[in-house]
Chains A and B, each alone.
Chain A
Amino acid sequence: MDGDKNTLLAVLQLLRKYNLKSTEDLFRKEANLTDITADDNQQTESEVNSVLSAYKSEGDPALYEKAYSELKKFVEGSLDIYKHELGTILYPVLVHMYLELVYNNHSVEAKQLMEKFCGNLEEYYQEDLKKLSNVTKREQMAGNELTDTFKSNQFIIRMSRDTLSILKRHLQEKKHSVLLNIIQEHLYFDMYEGVARNKQQIEATSGAIVGEATRQDNKAKVYYGLLKEPDIQCIPPAEEEEDDTAGTEGDKPKKKKAKKDPLFSKKTKSDPNAPPVGRMPLPNLKDADKLEKLKALREASKRVVLGPDSLPSICFYTLLNAVHGVTAAEIAEDSSLLAVGFSDSAIKVWSLVPQKLRLMKTGDQLQDINKEAEDVLVRMMDDRTAETVRSLYGHSGPIYSLSFSPDRNLLLSSSEDATVRLWSLHTWTCVVCYKGHLYPVWSVRFSPHGYYFATASHDKTARLWATDSHQPLRIFAGHYSDVDVVQFHPNSNYVATGSSDMTVRLWDCVTGSQVRLMTGHKGPIYSLAFSAEGRFLASAGADHRILVWDLAHGHLVAALSSHSANVHCLSFSRDGNILVSGSLDCTLKLWDFTKLAEEMTLEDVNVSHNPDVKTCVETYLLRTFATKNSPVLTLHFSRRNLLLGVGMFEAS
């Protein structure tokens, strides 16, 4: 009750702040807050201020350097097994000491402290330290994203019980009030039983802005299994399917057939890890969707099984004459359409198949069509308007992301102008403009089942929408910086986000809560991909590495570093055997994911025990293919496992 009241007060204060008089009055009346006087407001205001002044301390600036160097000496002098874990507190302590000094107007000392000690910290912290060191005045602290994050959040450090007790003993001995204050207020120790971690283990998961994930963060159960496929195989068309496979049996080796069958049967069996049916309400399949599914299955039966000995063929689409103008590219699920977004806010859609792009007939003409006809969908379209490429105009800023709906009738685009637009690929016009984000929308994704879509924005939130609603259904708030990329889990129950705060998070669409927090990236994340069976998540970004996560417990499984520039696209082959990554360094690399997953299952994994992170690039890297000065924008496996890539040619 008390908490409720406080919230109401905060709202009231906000209304007052923006001078929304009538709303305020209404609000007072409804909430029976008429008796609240200005005094109370005053009080709450000062509370807000007290948060800001968390750094107020009367410490002598000279003490900081001494305290820090003693801490450093202690860490360096401690036993080898504890050394690395103890070392993890050096970075947050330095950051907060610096901020405290700056806050208390000791800029010179702050600068000295930073210059003296920053060099000894890990390489991946340097970027943030550099950003931090730009802040040299108290006034600049307000409104700076990084300092705000540090100020208002505790830095999380995982530590074994032994290490922590050693640290505590040391702190009690030394009694540096400065250090004690910082550790008490700004650091949070997530203690665990067991042996202290070694350097590699620590490095694997450190690097995020607010430290590591606590164990609590990843305890929730995640239904990472795939949904039961609707039984289109059982109803009449299934026979057709049978016929089809029987027909192809002749010219294909027996072994392949045997392999193929479990592939289908697995889908029909219910996965123990799959979410209960109806957990997330999904749109019912229309007849057209069923036909489409059937087509997909038929195509899948002709799929080449990939592996280290049978590598895919790659068809690469190069965009010519687009000097740095391409900002996004996306290929439809059935590989028939390619959408490209440009920095001049235009969108172009190419047809990659002989079938051209047609306009829908006008209303009058449509009335003449026999609605009972089987090919009514074809008849709807006007053949005279067939073209191989069509443009969509409507945004007023660079297009950062595109996504086709599963039935390929709709296209979503997100742009710098803070809007998301839904385009009809029948009429080739904009259908809806979703305005909800306040800042550029970096990423948009259709749910694999259609209807829902998710967005990620500079405003630090990711949102879940339904195509028929102007308002977002869920707002996923929790990231400390831009949410750079969003990706739907194949079962549509979860959404994964990657952010500039260097964390990957998994959100439950049903409850709206965060169910996984995964740290380990050392830079913003620009690409996410779920493995075919839904258990693993691959992420990559500005640290040029590809990390693979096990969603069962949120563990880091592998860290693959081989690229030399930002990685902007990841894709799993349809059979899940190969992971492919494409980067701005004009290469794409094929990784042996089967091997990775196999080695992973051999290890005993549970919630508390983090498996060894695999970093051996030679074992998993199958091939590297270089393009000719064309950064890779998107990668896509066709239903038959042909790899399609899109890049823009940059004249050297």
Chain B
Amino acid sequence: MSLEPFNRLVKLAARAFYDDISTKGDNQPKTGRSDNRGIAVVVLDALTRRQWVREEDLAKDLKLHTKQLRRTIRFFEEEKLIAREHRRETAKGAKIFSAAVAATADGHHTKEGEEKVKLHTHSYCCLDYAQIYDVVRYRLHRMRKKLKDELENKNTVQEYICPNCSRRYTALDALRLISPDDEYFHCENCNGKLEAESDKIAAQEAGDGDDNARRRRREKLKSMLQKMEEQLKPLVDQLTRVKDLPVPEFGNLQAWEARAHAAGRGGLGDGSSNDPSKSSQGLGYGGTPMPFLGDTKVEVAFAGLDGKDDVKSETVSASLKVLPPWMIKQGMNLTKEQRGEVKEEVKMDGTSTSSTFSDDKKSSVETDDKKSIQDEYVKAYYAALLKKQQELEEAAKKQQELSSSNAANGDTGTSSTRQVGMKLKREDDEGDEDVEWEESNVAGNTNENYKVNDLNVQAEPSGEDEDEDDIDWEEG
């Protein structure tokens, strides 16, 4: 979940592969002063401490010239390490980002973005951790393969080159290249003698293929391979460490901004991303507004969570929606409604005050006599509790069954929905039978209460589990 191992991976990769990258063009003479090797590492390191960042801001922070930074960043974009986004934006757009940055409460960012609104096209960049992981692995694989292939001379198609016209051929062209006169291959263009291609790593100094040279070449390759394994070991270790971790994902710029914004607004409100009504309502803006706590790992956790969370909230609200028609249909007005009300009450206690909204639409009529009915109900409930001991036992049994099934099912969101559904059916049956069952319904209600609470209690750990599953799935 943490960003740290990935940042370490980026830093190691930067030092392994990009520490002598110079972004100077070839036409510029390399003097000591303009030698900017190492900038690449600095930029990558800086990016590990940020998320989406406007390139001008980054340049300012790093005290680099924008052009220089941009060249470096373009290089990394080509290397697929960095995700970039360009946006033509007005003052307002720039402000959105600045606000988002401010919301991250990241110490590196200031609000100075607002002054720069005259510029129209802004570029943003961000590390693309998932891709970096793949890129580094692929790079290592290619290095190893090249060395090994050369070492074993396996499956390599020999290439030939014409020294005159520098046309290249492969061994597959051999049939066309043989000449009847001598034992060499001849170029199709200029009839010059072809030479075996020797751009292979170790072949440079060993011109002819005599025995000694070949042996030396092998040794050199071997030591090279060994050195590579040795020196890149920290990187490889870090790769294996990171392998099973969920990759931090910032989403695209807009989504990230939206999230950061929402966090800025909702941060003081509540830390509970489990609030179902909120997450179900807030879907409009590129993603669920989740509390964004500045630290990325937290954000990632919620980003993974919000999909599941929506499902869960939907199921909860669905159960709320299912209830009213049933109550109306049955026609047992008062008590049934009470039951609904009580359930609602418990809901409010359990999770959130806002969850009543959906129900309020339907039960706005009954809200007036809610309180009195409730009181009555409580009394009736206690009476029932005393009197109908055996029925309570029955209920307890059912409750046990339920809880056991609950435990058996594990604590996934789907199982909990199913239980709610089952519950509803059962109550339905009871409701049909008799008024006698009224009390048992009360008992059933306690059951219900327990259930709902239980559901809420379980929702949180299950959320975490699901989150992990989710990320795993994304990775695979």
Whether both chains belong to one complex is answered with: no
The interface of chain B, by Cβ under 8 A from chain A, is none
The interface of chain A, by Cβ under 8 A from chain B, is none
